Structure 1
């Protein structure tokens, strides 16, 4: 319980320290080494994809006692100085030719191995776009069109990755199947609500229980316009993924090395040490960013005005992955799901005193820009109006990055080299 007589830390500084603690807890150098196996009789091949894959490779190199070779693909700007594992950079969230070339090389690396060999797959969020390998009859342009449409649709990450798995020649367990008969160890950093392995980077090395029919239903539900070859492939059923029980993945193991809950617990520890009681509301909150904001605004108001269900001062922590449906018909807004959440929270709270908040993506990139997120203060709305900025207009235009940048409240981290999804902290003093 918080000491009511204790001097509270400065809210902005404390919120930033909570975010930094969450990111630090998910660093591969800290969480990967305990999960490494003994070297095999044969070769050790390292493959991987994701925003954290290069940092994971560097940590593996530092702790691996025997021969090592391999290739991982990561986001531009996330390269690490590995000596034995090649690092290739490619585009995220929309795939590019560099990702396609790297994916082909990764597939070639694990083809023709023996039962004495070991493949270590380093998989983290962002791998869906980076490990781009179009299914039969599809092109890179088809995959780019689908990815862009999915990102603007409002579909959940699980739904998006269901579609992606069934349009790939490597995701949905297909890359894992190529490794057979070698031993396969998949090390995962989760960035998805619920931590389902098949949803992390669309599950390239694990089995998948979803179907082509489900992928088609998702496309229809969100009225997503996709190229004709995409529908043709899904309707044919020829792009089914590797299902549970498949013999090619019986000699494989999966280990979750860090996840959103671990990051939230680290942030909670920092808050507690600073004399502010933390409450973790959940590590897998989903839904439209502005709808989640309305719910958390209601809880915040209840705490601030009535001391229920928690006494102030306190900090409400949550993670997960919200979604954003693009409403601006011109698509000119600059934003991401975390800043959209924060702006919607500001609008919902209005001039409520004593509330500060931070929302950011733990990979350092909210949306497509090198901006992790933003900070909210009790006078955010007042400062915006003083500059002639209508908060609702910016929200309607999905332009939250512009809004917070003009106020000087953007959170910048640079590449964090990890990714355990959204981080939200609301401090009520």
Structure 2
């Protein structure tokens, strides 16, 4: 396998994704059956797969709905699967949010709500609060995506302009018991930040949201700012009695996936290190940081000795400024920056991809790179620096056939980065 580094890296990605498989993860966290009804609500890129897995494991009647993104979904018999847009919300998501809220109303203390939550749920569940409109929430989402703010900060803002996020979906289910099963795509795995926490409250305030908006210089509609400056934006806190009997479990995460990939690599005889499962920051800067480590290994034999595999996860960001943007996402931007900084180094191979199977604006999971990537791009008539400045890394990798396609994976535990130094 090491004679084909790209196949080896792709196999590690597959192992990481399998470690976040909803079926095995849910099996280990099934709640006790209630005296009354069992109602399922779900949202996120893994929502339909989680719902199908729960149906196969649950011995008894189920009802409810789960919201997945437009595209292929897993078939369910009892749970209604709705679809909406990601990363920019749409009217279908607005209707889906209402459907989920309707599903949990009128329940009793004998009923159980099982919430299946995964990354991407923030965009799939638009539900503008107060007098705000869908257009207002879309404007917020676009500003957040272009701001360069980390995902945890984005979700603090989102929860304060919503009537379903920030624990509000679970609050609407009172007095029923709510058990949330969460596939985390958040660095640090704070359950309240996954999908902006529709069933898990946190202690952030609308003042925190306003500070984030100021810090990242976001221009938001006047109606949104007026809402955030009103008491109406306050979200229920963790000490609210409506949450007293609730449980939440992070059933899959980047940490578990990276550890699974590391076990496979070590079994193949490669020393493996995991830098971190929660790296954040500008994608191009994180690319330079990883490249600096590679060069230190190659030139000075520290902090690791070759051959070695370096793994990392988390969620980087891409800040869109006046130069505009082209095609791609944070993983391809990371790789183009990384490739520029290791240009000419032999026997260095890397893969960066989103574990949900889609990196940014296109339908690829990510891309491959090595020490000859930049030379091949230039030979193909590409200007790597211009592509990086214009946030158009996909076009550069596509020109040389180094795009990595997987299709939707059915899970989402954030970015997977693997660098093999031989």
TM-score w.r.t. the length of structure 1 is 0.97
Which one is further off, 207-216 or 49-58?
207-216
For 2:102 and 2:238, the matched residues in 1 are separated by 24
**Which residue of structure 1 aligns with residue 354 of structure 2?**
361
Report Cα offsets for 1:53-74 as digits up to 9, x if no partner.
Answer: 1100000000100111010001
**Which residue of structure 2 aligns with residue 41 of structure 1?**
35
For 1:248 and 1:100, the matched residues in 2 are separated by 25
For 1:324 and 1:224, the matched residues in 2 are separated by 15
For 2:15 and 2:410, the matched residues in 1 are separated by 14
Report Cα offsets for 1:355-392 as digits up to 9, x if no partner.
Answer: 10000000011112211000002210111111121211
Give the match's secondary structure for 2:293: helix
- Contact 1:78–1:417 (CA under 8 A) maintained in structure 2: no
**Which residue of structure 2 aligns with residue 401 of structure 1?**
394
Among 47, 54, 58, the alignment partner of 1:53 is: 47
**Which residue of structure 2 aligns with residue 151 of structure 1?**
145
> Structure 2 unaligned runs (5+)?
none
Pairing of 1:228-247 with structure 2 (within 5 A): 228-247=222-241
Deviation at 1:26, TM superposition (A): 0.7
Among 363, 372, 376, the alignment partner of 1:379 is: 372
**Which residue of structure 1 aligns with residue 179 of structure 2?**
185
Is 1:427 paired with 2:417? no
- Contact 2:323–2:389 (CA under 8 A) maintained in structure 1: no
Deviation at 1:231, TM superposition (A): 0.1
For 2:344 and 2:371, the matched residues in 1 are separated by 7
Is 1:198 paired with 2:183? no
Is 1:115 paired with 2:109? yes
Deviation at 1:13, TM superposition (A): 0.9
Report Cα offsets for 1:84-125 as digits up to 9, x if no partner.
Answer: 000011100101011110110110110110000000000000
* Distance 1:78-1:185 versus aligned 2 partners, 3 A rule: farther
Is 1:258 paired with 2:264? no
- Contact 2:26–2:53 (CA under 8 A) maintained in structure 1: yes
**Which residue of structure 1 aligns with residue 306 of structure 2?**
312
Give the match's secondary structure for 2:275: strand
Give the match's secondary structure for 1:426: strand
Is 1:95 paired with 2:98? no
The alignment covers a number of residue pairs equal to 422
- Contact 2:21–2:411 (CA under 8 A) maintained in structure 1: yes
Give the match's secondary structure for 1:19: helix
Report Cα offsets for 1:197-235 as digits up to 9, x if no partner.
Answer: 111000011112111111111111111111111000001
For 2:331 and 2:48, the matched residues in 1 are separated by 25
Is 1:15 paired with 2:9? yes
Deviation at 1:304, TM superposition (A): 1.3
Is 1:335 paired with 2:328? yes
TM-score w.r.t. the length of structure 2 is 0.98
For 1:348 and 1:237, the matched residues in 2 are separated by 49
Deviation at 1:330, TM superposition (A): 3.8
Give the ranges of 4+ consecutive aligned residues of structure 1 lying more than 2 Å apart after TM superposition: 327-331
Give the match's secondary structure for 2:281: strand
Which one is further off, 126-135 or 264-273?
264-273
**Which residue of structure 1 aligns with residue 207 of structure 2?**
213
Deviation at 1:34, TM superposition (A): 1.3
Among 343, 347, 352, the alignment partner of 2:345 is: 352
Give the match's secondary structure for 2:137: helix
**Which residue of structure 2 aligns with residue 164 of structure 1?**
158
For 1:15 and 1:239, the matched residues in 2 are separated by 45
Is 1:277 paired with 2:277? no
For 1:272 and 1:330, the matched residues in 2 are separated by 42
- Contact 2:328–2:395 (CA under 8 A) maintained in structure 1: yes
Deviation at 1:272, TM superposition (A): 1.3
Among 267, 282, 291, the alignment partner of 1:297 is: 291
For 1:134 and 1:163, the matched residues in 2 are separated by 12
Report Cα offsets for 1:271-322 as digits up to 9, x if no partner.
Answer: 1122211110000000001111111111111111221111111110000000
For 1:263 and 1:104, the matched residues in 2 are separated by 34
For 1:414 and 1:85, the matched residues in 2 are separated by 24
